[in-house]
């Protein structure tokens, strides 16, 4: 019964007893158990990544009225293993003049930036790597390693197309980090904590009911940070060959692709954590940590599906429109929401009207935003209509 109540600590105590009984010091045994735990955790993430490849291909096939993988194994479930074999046996090419060290480190950094985020993800009350009290700062800092890997890949490739693609992608990622951080600050204000565990524990009522507009901003920023459509200029083949990873072949390219899929699932997990109570679900998490972990993974998979839904539905937008949308619209809106949330939260502190007040303030801001956009669009159309007669006169 102890295992079902606290599986991680039960396994740790059992392994520690086994190792120390053979003469190993407790310190060395603890370090060894930690290393084994990290290895198993990374292995689980990589196996999950293989499974996500199959899910992605089946989902996009359904969106496009196709069958998807259906030959290798039941329902094509072994197709990702065939893809891995293909990537492993492909020729490993390093361009002439490339910075070999940085060129080879970039895909590793890309995958590492995702795996580091898992360290603070609370799968269940007693199933979390590290409960950092500055977990949200860690989220932003670890995620920035992905930005570093992109610029490393583009610059080290000794390819002007790859370098240009890296510059565009980094501009996009850095820009959309700002509204994402503002959205995280809104959640921090609501929870009174920057720790992932503290945020989950603060959600007696999921924060989606406190800040629905913040959820939309975080989702858009997360998709842009991931570089998925409509923000997938990192692999805009129609515009710039294939972006920053143009020169990568075989498993090095595979690491970039695997990192993108795992990153999408990871952000699905953080959406569940920040807005939908993490592993909490009508008290079912009290049945045990394993049930809580299954609930959390289920929520993460659902929001991973939402990210896929957007990717395979919305067309790609131009880089100038993308950056203008962020700086002229999304970032100001995110900071307005942050200020309104702090003000309303202070006014209705310890009041039963806190949730309705925050929810209605979000609805009001959304309505004002839509009205402003309608007014702006009307003025732009009037300007275009006014310019048409003068343009026709010059033609005659």
| pLDDT per residue as tens digits for the range 64-75 | 888 888 888 888
- The partner residues of 124 in beta bridges, in order of sequence, read 127
Nearest to 253 by CA among 94, 57, 48: 94
Of the CA atoms within 13 Å of residue 273, those in its CB half-sphere come to 28
Give dist(CA 211, CA 342) in Å, integer: 12
Query: Between the CA of residue 318 and those of 170, 229, 314, what are the distances in Å?
Result: 15, 11, 13
Give dist(CA 267, CA 225) in Å, integer: 10
Give dist(CA 265, CA 297) in Å, integer: 9
Nearest to 329 by CA among 108, 225, 178: 178
Q: Give the distance between the most distant pair of CA atoms in the chain.
A: 98
pLDDT, one tens digit per residue, over 122-179 is 888 778 888 888 888 898 888 888 888 888 988 998 888 888 888 888 888 888 999 9
* pLDDT score recorded for residue 395: 60
* pLDDT score recorded for residue 236: 60
Overall residue count recorded for the chain in this entry: 396
Q: Find which of 18-22, 202-206, 241-245 is predicted with most confidence, using mean pLDDT.
A: 202-206
Q: Is 328 exposed, middle or buried (0-12, 13-18, 19+ CB in 10 A)?
A: exposed
* Of 339 and 18, more confident: 339
pLDDT of 200 higher than 70: yes
Nearest to 207 by CA among 358, 335, 330: 358
pLDDT of 36 higher than 60: yes
Query: Within its chain, how far is the Cα of 379 from the centroid?
Result: 36
Residue 267 in contact with residue 188, Cβ under 8 Å? no
Residue 327 in contact with residue 306, Cβ under 8 Å? no
DSSP type of residue 227: T
pLDDT, one tens digit per residue, over 274-300 is 999 888 888 787 888 888 889 999 999
Residue 127 in contact with residue 187, Cβ under 8 Å? no
Q: How confident is the model at residue 187 (pLDDT cuts 50, 70, 90)?
A: very high
How many CB atoms lie under 10 A from the CB of residue 252? 22
Nearest to 341 by CA among 364, 373, 311: 364
Question: In the structure encoding, which two tokens stand for residue 322, read together?
Answer: 């993308």
Helix 7-21, helix 26-63: angle, nearest 10? 140
In sequence order, what DSSP letters do the residues of 351-373 get, joined into one string? -TTHHHHHHHHHHHHHHHHHHHH
Give dist(CA 78, CA 82) in Å, integer: 7
| The dihedral sign for the CA sequence 241, 243, 247, 253 | negative
Average pLDDT of 310-339? 88
* pLDDT score recorded for residue 391: 58
Percentage of the chain with pLDDT > 90? 19
- What pTM did the predictor assign? 0.89
**3-class SS at 337?**
helix
DSSP type of residue 276: S
Q: Is the bond leading into 230 cis (omega within 30 degrees of zero)?
A: yes
């Amino acid at each position: 019964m102890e295992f079902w109540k606290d599986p991680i600590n039960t396994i740790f105590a059992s392994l520690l007893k086994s190792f120390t009984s053979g003469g190993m010091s407790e310190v060395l045994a603890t370090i060894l158990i930690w290393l084994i735990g990290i290895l198993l955790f990374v292995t689980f993430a990589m196996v999950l990544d293989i499974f996500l490849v199959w899910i992605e291909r089946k989902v996009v096939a359904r969106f496009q009225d196709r069958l998807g993988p259906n030959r290798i194994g039941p329902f094509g479930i072994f197709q990702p293993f065939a893809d891995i074999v293909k990537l492993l046996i492909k020729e490993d090419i390093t361009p002439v003049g490339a910075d070999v060290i940085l060129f080879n480190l970039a895909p590793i950094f890309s995958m590492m930036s995702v795996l580091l985020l898992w360290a603070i993800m609370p799968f269940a009350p007693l199933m979390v790597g590290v409960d950092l009290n500055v977990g949200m700062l860690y989220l932003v800092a670890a995620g920035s390693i992905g930005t570093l890997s992109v610029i490393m890949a583009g610059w080290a490739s000794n390819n002007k197309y790859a370098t240009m693609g890296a510059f565009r992608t980094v501009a996009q990622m850095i820009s959309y980090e700002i509204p994402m951080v503002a959205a995280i600050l809104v959640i921090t204000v609501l929870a009174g904590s920057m720790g992932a565990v503290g945020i989950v524990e603060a959600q007696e009522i999921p924060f989606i009911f406190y800040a629905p507009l913040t959820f939309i901003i975080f989702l858009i920023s997360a998709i842009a940070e991931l570089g998925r459509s409509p923000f997938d200029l990192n692999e805009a083949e129609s515009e710039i060959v294939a972006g920053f990873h143009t020169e990568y072949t075989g498993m090095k390219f595979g690491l970039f692709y695997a990192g993108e899929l795992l990153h999408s699932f990871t952000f699905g997990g953080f959406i569940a954590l920040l807005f939908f109570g993490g592993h909490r679900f009508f008290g079912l998490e009290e049945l045990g940590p394993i049930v809580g972990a299954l609930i959390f993974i289920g929520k993460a998979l659902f929001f991973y599906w939402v990210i896929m839904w957007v990717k395979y539905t919305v067309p790609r937008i131009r880089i100038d429109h993308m950056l203008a949308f962020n700086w002229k619209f999304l970032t100001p809106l995110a900071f307005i929401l942050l200020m309104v949330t702090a003000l309303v939260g202070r006014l209705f502190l310890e009041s039963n009207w806190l949730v309705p007040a925050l929810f209605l303030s979000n609805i009001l801001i959304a309505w004002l935003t839509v009205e402003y956009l309608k007014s702006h669009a009307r003025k732009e159309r009037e300007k275009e209509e006014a310019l048409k007669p003068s343009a026709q006169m010059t033609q005659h």
